[in-house]
Amino acid sequence: MVKLKQISVFLENKSGRLSELSKVLGEHNINIRALSIADTEDFGILRLIVNDPEKAWKVLKERGFTVSETRIIAVEIPDAPGGLASVLEILEAHAINIEYIYAFVGQREGNAVVVFRVEDIDNAVKILQEKGFHLLDGDEIY
Amino acid sequence: MHLIWNLEYESMSRPRLAELQLKRLREVVDRVYARVPYYRQKMEEAGIKPEDIRSLDDLAHLPFTTKEDLRENYPFGLFAVPMEEVVRIHASSGTTGKMTVVGYTRNDIKIWAQVMARTLACAGGTANDRIQVAYGYGLFTGGLGVHYGAEMMGATVIPISGGNTKRQIQIMKDFATTILACTPSYALYLAEGAAEEGIDPKELPLRAGIFGAEPWSENMRKEIEEKLGITAIDIYGLSEVIGPGVASECLEQNGLHVFEDHFLVEVVDPETGKPLPPGEKGEVVFTTLTKEAFPVIRYRTRDISILYPEPCACGRTMTRMHRILGRTDDMLIIRGVNVFPSQIENALLEIGETEPHYMLVVDRQQQLDELEVWVEVSEELFSDEVRKMEHLENRIRQKIESTLGIGVRVKLVEPKTIPRSEGKAKRVVDRRDIYGS
């Protein structure tokens, strides 16, 4: 399964919220693999890839956070100049709209991982795999 | 002593006034019983007939009229004359989506102009004055109400309406305005605007202001008087009764004279509805004695005040009402506009919030009221894309703005962050010190 589960959380821009959230996850033995925050003047949206998305979703909800689950893909690219461009070119050529991306350093030496949230995820998976890109599987992430 | 506009009525002896009020009360009760089915039905349910009104004390037997009654009869259900006799409509915001609509006959407009001319005379106004009407013109009664009164008095009217502060100041200076009519908070805003333009308002010919449409405090009066170098007069009115011109302070600045030959005033216990004796604090209730198109019987204003029947040094015998001390409901007045939390709730329901949790935070920044609406983000509304969340914020803002008719700021907040007390959410945080507590 390469369509990975991402947990998104609505956070107000006020001190202590992020630390509270990470504490909740820590207490429940949930490990954060990657994260990004998009913020505006008033609020932020925290996106997380964790080792146990179902449990994360449940415990965060129990603690009163507004949580949603989104499917994303994590593409392995060479950790070298031009690495990201090679993926973007392909997506652009196939008119696949990207909602947002963020990156983290890969587990394998010399590689980085870029998370893509795209409109047409099935199509993106198909095209990138055809072009020989490695999309991280649930087993590699969770 | 200054001019009293209708000396005969405004200084009438109390017994003669009571006689006149009773005569007019019986007439208006007869009229609504005969012409407005809703009033007739309510009187029948209360087991009272027009002929049961034999003294002013019998007023207490008549059923109250509330804002909900007005809503049920939207738009023209409580009019007591055929539409061909109605020459004007005004409206104010209701508790939910529907506005409160009122109508006037030609004679009502004349009476309104009379009571507004009295109000201007209360502030020392004469035909020599230039009156800058910075209340909004339109469905709101403020602008046109003052306008007709000023014209009747023979003063020079400057019908500039609300907004455009720079132009207000320019005109105030160039046209040598002597009396300003606007909300008290806008008066302070103008004072600051003038200072920014390098104009000292104290050096302008402006000498008085009639300020109303929102509650204000004695401290605010001092501030306005100091900054503008004028006498600040508190005026009172509501569209359901007539608009501005229901009551006004005189130059004694010690309570607002209610124009009782047209508006019968009571103060009642808001819980029990029982009339309270003079000097006791309660909800103000009005019965219109002369209005034709839209008479109201015992209309519950939800405003809290106290009545003082003692004679006033100005020579008027009309009862004085303390400046408004509060509200019995959760209505807010923001930049002169009535705002009910229920209107916000309705707007959120229309956006698709099934169980909206929200809070209104009102503050006064640089003399202007700011309304911030906090909305808890429910799971149904949440998207992990910033663009969509900003779009949501805009949609909520536009919906609320079109409902209220004033600008607001919307702030999305996390669930369960709005304090809930005894299961019922706390809907309003008012950081303005409007009643001067």
Note the pLDDT tens digit of each residue in B269-313: 999 999 999 999 999 999 999 999 999 999 999 999 999 999 999
Predicted structure pTM score: 0.81
pLDDT at B423 over 60: no
Q: Are residues A86 and A123 in the same domain?
A: yes
Q: Output the pLDDT for position B2.
A: 61
**Inter-chain contact B415–A66, Cβ cutoff 8 Å?**
yes
Q: Are residues A93 and A64 in the same domain?
A: no
A70 to chain B, any CB pair closer than 8 A? The answer is yes
CATH code, A32: 3.30.2130.10
Question: What is the rounded average pLDDT of the residues A94-105?
Answer: 91
Give dist(CA A91, CA B366) in Å, integer. 51
**Inter-chain contact A67–B379, Cβ cutoff 8 Å?**
yes
A141 found inside a domain: no
Domain that holds residue B146: 7-329
pLDDT at B418 over 90: no
CATH code, B258: 3.40.50.12780
Mean pLDDT computed over every residue of chain A:
91
A96 found inside a domain: yes
pLDDT at B370 over 80: yes
Q: Are residues B197 and B303 in the same domain?
A: yes
**Inter-chain contact B386–A70, Cβ cutoff 8 Å?**
no
Q: Are residues A50 and A87 in the same domain?
A: no
Question: What is the rounded average pLDDT of the residues B151-169?
Answer: 96
Residue after which a domain boundary falls, among B268, B301, B329: B329
- How many Cβ atoms are within 10 Å of B177's Cβ, its own excluded? 26
**What is the residue type of B307?**
L
A13 to chain B, any CB pair closer than 8 A? The answer is no
Residue after which a domain boundary falls, among B281, B303, B329: B329
Given a contact cutoff of 8 angstroms between Cβ atoms, the answer to whether A15 and A22 are in contact is no
The partner residue sitting opposite A10, judged by closest CB among B390, B411, B414, is: B414
Cα–Cα–Cα angle for B250, B256, B262, rounded to 5 degrees: 105
Q: Output the pLDDT for position B350.
A: 87
Question: pLDDT tens digit string along B45-102?
Answer: 999 999 999 999 999 999 999 999 999 999 999 999 999 999 999 998 776 668 899 9
DSSP B261: T
B234 found inside a domain: yes
CATH code, B368: 3.30.300.30
Q: Output the pLDDT for position B62.
A: 98
Question: pLDDT tens digit string along A16-34?
Answer: 888 999 999 999 999 999 9
Q: Are residues B189 and B43 in the same domain?
A: yes
What is the count of structural domains for chain B?
A: 2
In this predicted complex, what is the ipTM? 0.84
Q: Output the pLDDT for position B1.
A: 46
Q: Are residues B342 and B322 in the same domain?
A: no
Q: Are residues A77 and A89 in the same domain?
A: yes
Cα–Cα–Cα angle for B166, B167, B169, rounded to 5 degrees: 70
**Inter-chain contact A17–B414, Cβ cutoff 8 Å?**
yes
**Inter-chain contact B411–A42, Cβ cutoff 8 Å?**
yes
A56 to chain B, any CB pair closer than 8 A? The answer is no
Residue after which a domain boundary falls, among A29, A45, A71: A71
Q: Which residues of A touch B379 (CB under 8 A)?
A: 66-68
What is the count of structural domains for chain A?
A: 2
Q: Are residues B122 and B269 in the same domain?
A: yes
pLDDT at B248 over 70: yes
**Please, which pLDDT band fits residue B424 given cuts at 50, 70 and 90?**
low
Residues forming beta bridges with residue B372, ordered by sequence position: B361, B409
Q: Are residues B177 and B141 in the same domain?
A: yes
**Inter-chain contact B412–A11, Cβ cutoff 8 Å?**
no
Residue after which a domain boundary falls, among B269, B303, B329: B329
Q: Are residues A9 and A67 in the same domain?
A: yes
B130 found inside a domain: yes
Residue after which a domain boundary falls, among A71, A96, A112: A71
Give dist(CA B386, CA A98) in Å, integer. 13
A140 found inside a domain: no
- For chain B, the residues whose C-beta falls within 8 A of a C-beta of chain A are 377-379, 382-386, 389-390, 411-417
Domain that holds residue A116: 72-135
A37 to chain B, any CB pair closer than 8 A? The answer is no
Residue after which a domain boundary falls, among A55, A71, A87: A71
Question: pLDDT tens digit string along B309-326?
Answer: 999 999 999 999 999 999
**Inter-chain contact A40–B386, Cβ cutoff 8 Å?**
yes
Give dist(CA B10, CA B318) in Å, integer. 6
Q: Are residues B11 and B127 in the same domain?
A: yes
Question: pLDDT tens digit string along A108-140?
Answer: 778 889 999 999 999 999 999 999 999 999 888
Q: Which residues of A touch B417 (CB under 8 A)?
A: 12
- How many Cβ atoms are within 10 Å of B338's Cβ, its own excluded? 22
Counting Cα atoms < 13 Å in the Cβ hemisphere of B93 gives: 23
- Look up tokens 């106004």; give the residue: B125
Q: Are residues A14 and A42 in the same domain?
A: yes
